[in-house]
C-alpha cells in the first residue's frame, strides 16, 4: 500500500510506495518492450478486467469489438480499496494511499503515436476521459482526477509502445492545481472576470503566440512558457470542468489535437512529450470548496515536449530557462499546419 505524504514546506504531496524494494535504474540499460503487446485487440486477457469501454453493440466486455478500452494499471501507484484516513506523523501529514490508477488504451491497433490516430478516434479517447472523470468524482474519497499522457522514454513512458494514456484519482488536490485555482480566484475577486478568458481574449488580439484557432478552441504558446514548445489548448466557451464538454466540443477537440500533434511531430522529429488535462477538483467532498470556481476557473490541456533537460538552477530556484521564445514556437508550428 502506498502513502500520500505532505511536504510541510511547499504544501506538495508525494506518493511514497512503502512496500517497493526494487530500485529504479532508468539511467542504465532501458527495459525491453514485451514480446506480445497486452493492449492489442485479441490480447484482452493479458490486462485486468476492463472498467469502461467504447465498443460495438452486442460485443462482450474483455473481448474484441472495442474502440477505446480502460483498465486498471497492473502496478497502480494508488489503490481504490480501503478507507481514507488522514493522520499526523510528528509535524508531518500523511493520507492513506487510496485512489485509482487507470490506463486508457486509445486504439485496438498497435499504433505508437497519437498523431497517427484519426481525429474521430482521438475524440473517442476524450469521450472516455470525460466518462471516467464523471464516474470517479462520485467517490467522495477522491479530491482530484489527473488525466495525462507520457510519450517517449524521456517523458516517463512505459515500455508498452501501444498508444495509451493514464489517469490517477488522488485523495488530495495537487499543489500545481491549487496554485492555478488560487490565482484564478484572486484575479476574479479583483476584476470579476475569468483570468483564462482574459488570457484567451488578449492572445487572440495580439496573435503573435496563437498557433491554431477555430470556432471552439484556441492553441497558443504561453507568454511565459517554461519549456520550449510548451502549448496550451483552451476551449473558447467558459467551462470550469472537463465534465461539461459537449459532444460538438469533443469532436472539435479531436480535430485540433490531431493537427497540433502532427505539427509537433513534423517540427521536432517525433519528440517525447507529456500532456496533462487541467480540470476542476471534485466539489463533492467539501461544501463550499473553491466557492467561485464555476466562474473563475477554465479547464485546459497542457502539452510539454521534453526536448530540454531541467538543470540544477531551475530545480533549485523555480526559475525556468526557455531557449525558444513562444513567438518563435508559434511561427514555426503554424508553418506545419
pLDDT bracket for residue 24 (50, 70, 90): low
Q: Which residues of 159-169 are buried (b: 16+ CB within 10 A; e: fewer)?
A: ebbbbbbbbbb
DSSP summary character for residue 101: E
Mean pLDDT of 274-297: 88
* Cα–Cα distance, 301 to 322 (Å, whole number): 20
**pLDDT number for residue 29:** 57
The three three-digit cell numbers of residue 6, written as one number? 505532505
Query: Does the structure show a pLDDT above 80 at 7?
Result: no
Confirm whether 9 is domain-assigned.
Answer: no
* Cα–Cα distance, 218 to 277 (Å, whole number): 15
Query: Does the structure show a pLDDT above 70 at 30?
Result: no
Confirm whether 285 is domain-assigned.
Answer: yes
Are 319 and 313 in contact, with CB atoms under 8 Å apart? Answer: yes
Query: Looking at the 3D structure of the chain, how many domains does it have?
Result: 1
Confirm whether 143 is domain-assigned.
Answer: yes
**pLDDT tens track for 41-91:** 999 999 999 999 999 999 999 999 999 999 999 988 888 888 888 888 888
* Cα–Cα distance, 142 to 98 (Å, whole number): 8
Confirm whether 18 is domain-assigned.
Answer: no
The three three-digit cell numbers of residue 16, written as one number? 511514497
Mean pLDDT of 274-295: 88
Q: Which residue in 229, 261, 260 sits closest to 326, CA to CA?
A: 229
**pLDDT tens track for 189-247:** 999 999 999 999 999 999 999 999 999 999 999 999 999 999 999 999 999 999 999 99
The three three-digit cell numbers of residue 249, written as one number? 466540443
Confirm whether 1 is domain-assigned.
Answer: no
- Please give the positions annotated as active site: 164
Are 85 and 97 in contact, with CB atoms under 8 Å apart? Answer: no
**pLDDT number for residue 13:** 76
* Cα–Cα distance, 70 to 47 (Å, whole number): 10
Mean pLDDT of 283-287: 77
* Cα–Cα distance, 280 to 173 (Å, whole number): 10
**pLDDT tens track for 315-336:** 898 888 999 999 999 999 999 9
Q: Within 10 A of 9 (CB to CB), how many other CB atoms are there?
A: 6
Q: How far is CA 230 from CA 235, 276, 301, in A?
A: 17, 12, 11
* pLDDT greater at residue 18 or residue 265: 265
Confirm whether 293 is domain-assigned.
Answer: yes
Confirm whether 64 is domain-assigned.
Answer: yes
**pLDDT tens track for 136-180:** 999 999 999 999 999 998 899 988 999 999 999 999 899 999 999
Q: In whole numbers, what is the pLDDT of the chain averaged over residues?
A: 92
Are 290 and 181 in contact, with CB atoms under 8 Å apart? Answer: yes
**pLDDT number for residue 28:** 57
Partners of residue 69 on adjacent β-strands: 53, 105
Confirm whether 245 is domain-assigned.
Answer: yes
Mean pLDDT of 32-36: 80
Q: Return the CATH number at 174.
A: 3.30.428.10
Domain housing 150? 36-76+99-334
**pLDDT number for residue 177:** 93
Q: Which of 104-108, 159-163, 180-184 is most confident?
A: 104-108
Amino acid at each position: 500500500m502506498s502513502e500520500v505524504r505532505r511536504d510541510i514546506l511547499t504544501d506538495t504531496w508525494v506518493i511514497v510506495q512503502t512496500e517497493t524494494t526494487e530500485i529504479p535504474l532508468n539511467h542504465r540499460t532501458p527495459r525491453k518492450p514485451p514480446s506480445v503487446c497486452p493492449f492489442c485487440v485479441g490480447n484482452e486477457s493479458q490486462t485486468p478486467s476492463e472498467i469502461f469501454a467504447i465498443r460495438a453493440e452486442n460485443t462482450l466486455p474483455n473481448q474484441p469489438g472495442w474502440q477505446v478500452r480502460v483498465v486498471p494499471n497492473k502496478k497502480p501507484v494508488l489503490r481504490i480499496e480501503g478507507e481514507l484516513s488522514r493522520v499526523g506523523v510528528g509535524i508531518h501529514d500523511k493520507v492513506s494511499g487510496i485512489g485509482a490508477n487507470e490506463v486508457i488504451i486509445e486504439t485496438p491497433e498497435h499504433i505508437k503515436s497519437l498523431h497517427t490516430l484519426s481525429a474521430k478516434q482521438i475524440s473517442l479517447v476524450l469521450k472516455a476521459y470525460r466518462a471516467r472523470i464523471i464516474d470517479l468524482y462520485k467517490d467522495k474519497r477522491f479530491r482530484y482526477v489527473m488525466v495525462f499522457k507520457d510519450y517517449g522514454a524521456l517523458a516517463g513512458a512505459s515500455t508498452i509502445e501501444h498508444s495509451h494514456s493514464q489517469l490517477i484519482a488522488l485523495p488530495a488536490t495537487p499543489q500545481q492545481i491549487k496554485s492555478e485555482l488560487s490565482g484564478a480566484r484572486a484575479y476574479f475577486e479583483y476584476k470579476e472576470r475569468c483570468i483564462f478568458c482574459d488570457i484567451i481574449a488578449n492572445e487572440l488580439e495580439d496573435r503573435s503566440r496563437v498557433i491554431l484557432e477555430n470556432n471552439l478552441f484556441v492553441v497558443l504558446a504561453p507568454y511565459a512558457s517554461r519549456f520550449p514548445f510548451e502549448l496550451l489548448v483552451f476551449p473558447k466557451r467558459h467551462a470550469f470542468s472537463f465534465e461539461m464538454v459537449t459532444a460538438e466540443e469533443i469532436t472539435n477537440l479531436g480535430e485540433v489535437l490531431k493537427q497540433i500533434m502532427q505539427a509537433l511531430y513534423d517540427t521536432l522529429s517525433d519528440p517525447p512529450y507529456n500532456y496533462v488535462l487541467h480540470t476542476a477538483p471534485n466539489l463533492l467532498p467539501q461544501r463550499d470548496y473553491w466557492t467561485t470556481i464555476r466562474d473563475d476557473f477554465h479547464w485546459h490541456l497542457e502539452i510539454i515536449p521534453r526536448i530540454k533537460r531541467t538543470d540544477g538552477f531551475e530545480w533549485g530556484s523555480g526559475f525556468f530557462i526557455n531557449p525558444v521564445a513562444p513567438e518563435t514556437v508559434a511561427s514555426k508550428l503554424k508553418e506545419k499546419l
